[in-house]
Structure 1
Amino acid sequence: MNYMISIIIPVFNRKEYTRECLLSLGKQTDQRFKVVIVDDGSTDGTEDMLRQEFPEVEVLKGSGSLFWTAGVNMGIRHALKQGAQLIMTMNNDVVTDEHLIEKMYYWHEQKPEALLGALELDANTQQPIFGGERLNWLLNTIEEVLPTLPKDEQKGLHAVTHLPGRGLLIPRVVIEKIGLFDQDRFPHYIADYDYTHTARRAGFELYVNYDARLLTYPEESGERQIRSDKNFKNYYKHLFDLKGGGNLRDFTRFTLKNCPAPYIPFHLANGYTRRLFGYFLK
């Protein structure tokens, strides 16, 4: 195996997170990877920091209007032109466990056409907080995998129905079959779930790799911040803002594109209710 993982990281400001992420990647036990940063108009000195501290990192510049999905797609296109066989999408506000790349390669060799995600740990407590989900369209329920597993089974691969874009390993064969992320319908949130649902329908397996771990900051997400100060302005953002986790337009588009046709009316009604009223309950 003589190829390398191309890690695509879209960034906009928050250079301290980017620095911490890149420093953690520098400590990987397996260094067979390249990092491509897509800097979408940062104004906090990110560009200078990358040039001075991480000259080995490739930096692509956006116009300031890419958001997550178009930024990731720009990086993927660049990597594919360079012959990349494996793509990993990653957010800048994560810290990688030193064995992440090593364990991704190991399980990729066992499942060469599968998409692999990482087990997420809270960066502050070091406790596992996300180990994948399984969506049941018929019942409109999501089963979290992690709470169902005894401690001694929190290892290896666990099948899921969708994966987040944080530490998502995508073989080139997947991209060649289903294309890039859908930046027109989903410019920021839910593009990763849409992509992995699309891949699953196309016949590709999805797993969370519990041996590959990421440290994340759950309180730093845009939606968590919108929910932390509950008021009608933030309620509006929750439902309609591009970075709102309850964005009704994105949810509708996601459902119409991915949900089996017989279940669409119930899924939409259930989802709208949760988004309209759940904001004030959580």
Structure 2
Amino acid sequence: MKQSIYIIIPVYNRKSITLTCLENLKANGDLQKYHVIVIDDGSSDRTSEEVGANYPEVIILKGDGNLWWTGAMALGMTYAYERGAKNFIWLNDDSLPAINTLDLIVNFLQEYPNSIVGAACYVETGQLVETGFKGRQRMKALANETIKVDGLSGYCVGIAASIFKEIGAPDAIKFRQYAGDGMYTLKATRAGFKAYILGSAKVILAEEKDPIHNFTNYIQKIKEYKEYTFKSIFWNYKSPYHLPTQFYYHIYKYGYLTGLPLFIIKATSWVIRFYV
């Protein structure tokens, strides 16, 4: 009988990546031990059909293309909570947990109930990525460390269901694609819950090529394969520099007095660098 742990994986038109993620879970034994939910937000590449055919034990929920990352996670968490989930594990489909990583997360949540814990994440070259933050400082945990943080990126994160009961689902309106993970975990820690990065729990980010948050690097990367317009950079939910999301992010994280001037300064800098 599977444990009341639900792994929640949002997907969209990345069939091969999604299948690799599920195969990794199967090889590690996680697919057999835990419930797995794939939220397919309107993929046109037969992701749901392939998942259903190859992994019939996986629960598939479908969206119409308007869920984005945060809405998919909110849907999955709600579904799991209604079915008695004790803990959730957020997992991006390009995040490949090492063997025993999810067990370490589950064990941590059992030892420290009512908490949040993220895995230490590495790019394929072996570089350790900063996946948490404390104040304005980004944080990472070495293999022998457990670091307390204010919030976490959502690559691979365990969350006690008691937190969902207390603060509800992530905000899929203000933070559709980006910042939904960090702002939800920040909301939890502000409500009195604890969040950590567990260095012994390791994940490889198979698709992450530029783990450093840098506007110039993003612009250089997007020029290579995407439409390069003001709208595509600043008014598209697929962009981390979507201005309404950035506005809500700065206001929520820092408050109006600090967040609004900081947003204006950053947004002005991004726009200037876009046109230079």
Unaligned runs of 5+ in 2: none
CA contact (8 A) 2:123 2:209 kept: no
1:139 equivalent in structure 2: none
SS at match of 2:209: helix
1:194 equivalent in structure 2: 183
2:258 equivalent in structure 1: 263
Matched residues in 1 for 2:10 and 2:210: separation? 16
1:161 equivalent in structure 2: 150
SS at match of 2:134: strand
Matched residues in 2 for 1:229 and 1:70: separation? 25
Matched residues in 2 for 1:27 and 1:44: separation? 24
Instruction: Please tell me whether residue 77 in structure 1 is matched to residue 78 in structure 2.
Output: yes
Matched residues in 2 for 1:265 and 1:66: separation? 27
TM-score norm. by structure 1 comes to 0.85
Alpha-carbon offset, residue 29 of structure 1 = 5.4
CA contact (8 A) 1:4 1:33 kept: yes
Give the alignment of 1:152-231 within 5 angstroms. 154-216=143-205, 217-219=207-209, 227-230=220-223
- Map Cα deviations across residues 125-182 of structure 1 (whole Å, 9 max, x no partner): 133223533223xxxxxx2334xx7xxx532420112101111111011111111010
- Map Cα deviations across residues 174-206 of structure 1 (whole Å, 9 max, x no partner): 111111010111111111111111111101111
Alpha-carbon offset, residue 250 of structure 1 = 0.7
1:46 equivalent in structure 2: 47
Aligned residues with identical type, % of pairs: 25
2:22 equivalent in structure 1: 22
Pair 47,256 (structure 1): closer, same or farther in 2 beyond 3 Å: same
Count how many residue pairs are aligned between Structure 1 and Structure 2: 267
Unaligned runs of 5+ in 1: 137-142
Instruction: Indicate the RMSD between aligned Cα atoms, in angstroms.
Output: 2.6
Matched residues in 1 for 2:25 and 2:9: separation? 12
TM-score norm. by structure 2 comes to 0.87
CA contact (8 A) 2:250 2:260 kept: no
Letter in 1 for 2:58: V
**30-39 vs 170-179, which deviates more?**
30-39
Matched residues in 1 for 2:185 and 2:275: separation? 30
